[in-house]
Structure 1
Amino acid sequence: MKKIVLGLVVVACSVLLNACNGFLTNDLEETMKLNEQQMLNYINTKNLQMTKADNGMYYQITQTNASGKKVNLGDEVKLHFVLSLLDGTRIDSTERLKNAPFSGIFGGTIGLQGLLDAINTLREGERGLFLIPSYLAFGSQTQNKIPANSVVVFDLEAVRYRSEDQQIEEYIATGTNTTFVSTDTTASGVKVLKITETTGTQLAAGQTATVKYTGYLASTIKQFDTGQIDVYLGGGGVVKGFDEGLQKLRVGEKAVLVFKSALGYGTQGIADQTTNTYKIPPYSPLIFVVEVKSTK
């Protein structure tokens, strides 16, 4: 389940590039005309009332939510979908009965242009049917059960959109059972939630601190790294949020550092080449549980 859409996480750009190169040799104009006629035939056969978008896809909103929020770049999106071909062949889907939606980052881990355009059309809580021409989908490349130059059909429901701020707020409110002895926020927005306080040496730029840490994604509370590291504070050897948060601590203290992606791995994230996905997705707010062991 979800293998087709999830497979677009890292490779989408190269697929689209290859698709465009293929179209140059296979006559993009003819493919666009063919896709247009195929979509119109589908609409007429199914007696659908669909709207044509500026990008060439057709859509029909089947469940509205006028008060629902619109998606923004970097939002975590949770979606239910059924992906199929015009002939009804089902390619992929989420498990709606098990309430197991697909989760991705808008403009980050979702690379299929037609899917991005479809999501951008839906407010949170809305559902729609989308006919996406091949040049916005899988192009001239055959993908598993999807033949080259195929129009694809998405039955898509926008379950929820969460900003980075929402992910952080919800983690602090419900994602931890830890009692914090004090909380602080730096000028850049790093939240420093102290688990213990000591009278040890205050950390500052120019010192080298030995720190035990475990890193988590705020969106899923999934661990992505753990270990011990020597950090030259203020030297730029670690992401800004980690460095800045440490400088609020003393030797011997334990704390949770929480910060947005702009202070972490930003819009690029960290790719995992072994799985062709992301170890840290783009636009990911991060959580670090840290303990300062020593400084010099």
Structure 2
Amino acid sequence: MMKYILSILTLMIAIGASAQTDMQHTPKGALYKVFTNSTNARVKDGDIITFQYIQKTDKDSVLYSTYVSGQPGRAQIHPSQNVGDMMEIFPLLTVNDSALVKLPTDSIFKGHEDQRPPFFPKGSNLNFTIKILKAQTVDEFKADLVQAEITGSAKYIADHKLNLQTTPSGLKYVITQASTKPKPVKGDTVYVNYTGKNLDDKVFDSDIEADAKAAGLQQPGRTYEPLQFVIGAGGIIAGWDEGMQLLNEGSKAIFVIPSKLAYGEPGYNGIPPFSTLVFNIELVKVVHAKHVAAAPAKKPAAKKHVYKKKATTTKN
């Protein structure tokens, strides 16, 4: 039995050594092995790739997995700046290719050894198993995001059975608590309670303490009180500026705000690009500005000729 176990161990060591010697080197020192042999066109400079990956130590401890998180990685291909960016590897692959990549930690932490974690000793590797799902041009990538936003918004509205009105700009809303008090206009100051969510119902911000705590938001030092701003002053997203003018003081509503009226293509502070946002809104108070009425137009006066007095000079 011991002889059999030793034979198995010897075979495993031989396979491991073979896998290591089968790997190729990039100019910056990464090791890689492509497991597939796809005939698709290779990833090229400027492409945006979507890929799955598992990140491990040399001892096979999983550090991160997109399969577990449910969020594939994305990167735009550009010339490699360092071994850790894997930009030497991606252009060697095609869509549906899988590969093993070993990045030397001595190169990754060169110049900042103080940041090297203990599970990456000198001579070790950061290991990636990657699979390329998509390679798109920037325009194709944006078109996909736009379509995903439209589809996701429609699904959210249907799943939550929201009977929404839509303004010409694309803002969707429903008033959940009516009021007969006046509506604000541009220049008025409003005080608003709100809770903001993504289309997955994950709360990303709230000025209501109970909602923030229920969502597990970490907002140390925050004072939970209505948000104050002036309508039309440019300090708030367009969907709010428009939406507040649809509400009466004291009313509540749900806003479904498309990205073009929110944070658009760039996204903001953890909000991804092209994100439709959902807000539960309460218009607590309106402070009306003093709006000066326009003076009535005057009837044009009869045209008069004005003559200037001719200047004279005095002779000495």
Count of aligned residue pairs for this structure pair: 230
| Corresponding residue of 1:133 | 104
Contact 2:243 2:255 (C-alpha < 8 Å) held by counterparts? no
State the Cα distance separating 1:172 from its structure 2 match: 0.8
Which of these residues, 247, 251, 255, is aligned with residue 250 of structure 1? 247
Contact 1:138 1:149 (C-alpha < 8 Å) held by counterparts? no
| Residues 214-258 of structure 1: CA deviation (Å, up to 9, x unaligned) | 11234x4311222342331122443x2454443563323623233
Q: Find the residue that maps to 1:175 and give its secondary structure.
A: helix
State the Cα distance separating 1:143 from its structure 2 match: 1.4
State the Cα distance separating 1:155 from its structure 2 match: 0.7
State the Cα distance separating 1:154 from its structure 2 match: 0.7
| Residues 168-187 of structure 1: CA deviation (Å, up to 9, x unaligned) | 3343132342323322463x
In the TM superposition, 1:16-27 aligns within 5 A as: none
Contact 2:239 2:261 (C-alpha < 8 Å) held by counterparts? no
State the Cα distance separating 1:146 from its structure 2 match: 0.8
Which of these residues, 153, 156, 161, is aligned with residue 172 of structure 1? 153
Read off the aligned partner of 1:100 and give its amino acid letter: V
Q: Find the residue that maps to 1:264 and give its secondary structure.
A: coil
TM-score, structure 2 as length reference: 0.52
| Residues 108-167 of structure 1: CA deviation (Å, up to 9, x unaligned) | xxxx97356489656665432222233764443421411246432211235679865355
- Please say if 1:229 is aligned against 2:197: no
State the Cα distance separating 1:289 from its structure 2 match: 1.4
Distance 1:261 1:55 in 2: 42
Contact 1:261 1:283 (C-alpha < 8 Å) held by counterparts? no
| Corresponding residue of 2:60 | 90
Distance 1:289 1:232 in 2: 18
Q: Find the residue that maps to 1:212 and give its secondary structure.
A: strand
Distance 1:268 1:135 in 2: 35
Q: 1:105 to 1:284 in 2, by over 3 A?
A: farther
Q: Which runs of 5+ in 1 are unaligned?
A: 1-41, 271-279
Which of these residues, 189, 192, 203, is aligned with residue 211 of structure 1? 192
Q: Which runs of 5+ in 2 are unaligned?
A: 1-15, 76-81, 136-140, 208-225, 289-316
Contact 2:55 2:126 (C-alpha < 8 Å) held by counterparts? no
Contact 2:229 2:235 (C-alpha < 8 Å) held by counterparts? yes
Distance 1:261 1:73 in 2: 24
Structure whose residues are more often strand by fraction: 1
Read off the aligned partner of 1:132 and give its amino acid letter: L
| Corresponding residue of 1:57 | 30
Which of these residues, 130, 133, 142, is aligned with residue 116 of structure 2? 142
TM-score, structure 1 as length reference: 0.55
Contact 2:23 2:31 (C-alpha < 8 Å) held by counterparts? no
C-alpha RMSD of matched pairs (Å): 4.8
Distance 2:122 2:29 in 1: 18
Read off the aligned partner of 1:222 and give its amino acid letter: K
Larger mean Cα displacement after TM superposition, 61-70 or 128-137: 61-70
Q: Identity of paired residues, percent?
A: 13
Which structure has the bigger radius of gyration?
2
Distance 2:116 2:132 in 1: 27
Q: Find the residue that maps to 1:165 and give its secondary structure.
A: helix
